[in-house]
Structure 1
Amino acid sequence: MKESIIYFSIKIFGGFVRLLPLNAALFLGRCIGVLVYYFDTKHKAIAYANLKMAFSKEKSSHEIKKITKKLFMNYGENLMELLRMPLLDKTKYEDYVQIEGKENVGKGLEQKNGAILLAMHFGSWEMASLACAMLDYPYKVIVKPQTKYSKLDDLLNSYRACGGNVVLSRGMGTRDLIKSLKNN
């Protein structure tokens, strides 16, 4: 029951987000990110600790707190972008994503070596994966399954796949990924 409520809530919310202009959707995402920052103290503490470990010599505690808050705001924007993915096609993606170094991927594919692109959870990683699919590169995305909510997982993965990406589950997808590189 809980899973169905979450699934339909996200599905309805996604429909609403797709009706908004992009700037309004991103603003809403930042607002959601700020709310999560203030109310999800567990994940805020984890993010802060990780950033402090990485930047304690270069940044003050105040600066690290500001970065942590911006990180949550960025997650909110990424959620909005993910929910808007069904709107994008090959004629529109360049309005949202600027790709640098795509010639390197092309060279790797021409040489039959394949290419691996790594993305971290910073910036617009969901849009970057969609942009690669829009470039007609054979693109596979490895994701961590949402084990508690399989319906929600299926919905989010359908958004990720709408541009032509193949979505692989972490762990199970490793073998398929290696096979794809060899077959290039």
Structure 2
Amino acid sequence: MKLSQDVTWRLLQGFGWIVNRAPHGLAVRLGEWVGVLVWFFSRARVDRAEARCVRVLQVGVTTARAIVKESYRNLGRGLAEALRLPSLCPGLMDYIDIHGEENLKEALAKGKGVVALTAHFGNWEFAAAALALKGYPMNAIGAEQRDPRI
């Protein structure tokens, strides 16, 4: 185990402890702040992301920088919400609106199962948790993390 992984794990545990004791709005704001901090200290990754935005979205550097910074802010927000899932589960549905559930029910009624694809767009962890709380069977596939504790 690398020292950086151990430090990251301990920071995540500490941040999780904080956001699980904070009101939801404050926890999300703290997550945004963490996202901006990571953006600030991750220059190599940020530079690559900005270059991709310029190339793929065909925008200027200033616009690309704003897009990437907002993406990091959103990832921090998602991190705070994901870390709060254990304490939110009883009232999770208070934070979520499900649109198109009838489509899922119709597909499941065919008896063949459903493969739902999502990306890092919004808080997909909340979506999976909400569907599981509503009784839908759920399996997730993801990439292996460098640190198995994460």
TM-score between both structures, scaled by the size of structure 2: 0.87
Name 2:65's counterpart in structure 1. Answer: 65
State whether structure 2 residue 41 is matched by structure 1 residue 32. no
Q: CA 1:5 to 1:45, structure 2 compared with 1: closer, same or farther past 3 Å?
A: closer
Instruction: Write the letter of the residue equivalent to 1:85.
Output: L
Worse overlay, 93-102 or 13-22 = 93-102
Name 1:108's counterpart in structure 2. Answer: 107
CA distance in 1, matches of 2:43, 2:7: 24
Q: CA 1:23 to 1:116, structure 2 compared with 1: closer, same or farther past 3 Å?
A: same
Cα deviations by residue, 1:32-87 (Å, 9 ceiling, x for unpaired)? 1111111101221222233223310xx43322221111000000001101110101
Q: CA 1:5 to 1:36, structure 2 compared with 1: closer, same or farther past 3 Å?
A: closer
Cα deviations by residue, 1:92-139 (Å, 9 ceiling, x for unpaired)? 222212211111111111111211211111211221111121121111
Overall identity of the aligned pairs, in %: 31
TM-score between both structures, scaled by the size of structure 1: 0.72
State whether structure 2 residue 148 is matched by structure 1 residue 125. no
Q: CA 1:55 to 1:6, structure 2 compared with 1: closer, same or farther past 3 Å?
A: closer
Instruction: Write the letter of the residue equivalent to 1:123.
Output: G
CA distance in 2, matches of 1:118, 1:32: 27
Name 1:46's counterpart in structure 2. Answer: 48
Name 2:81's counterpart in structure 1. Answer: 81
Instruction: Write the letter of the residue equivalent to 1:18.
Output: N
Q: Is the 8 A contact 2:50 2:61 kept in 1?
A: no
Instruction: Write the letter of the residue equivalent to 1:64.
Output: A
How far is 1:27 from its partner? 0.5
CA distance in 2, matches of 1:49, 1:60: 10
Alignment size in residue pairs: 148
Q: Is the 8 A contact 1:71 1:122 kept in 2?
A: no
Query: After the TM superposition, which segments of 4 or more aligned residues of structure 1 sit over 3 Å from their partners?
Result: 1-9
Which of residues 22, 25, 35 is equivalent to 1:23?
A: 25
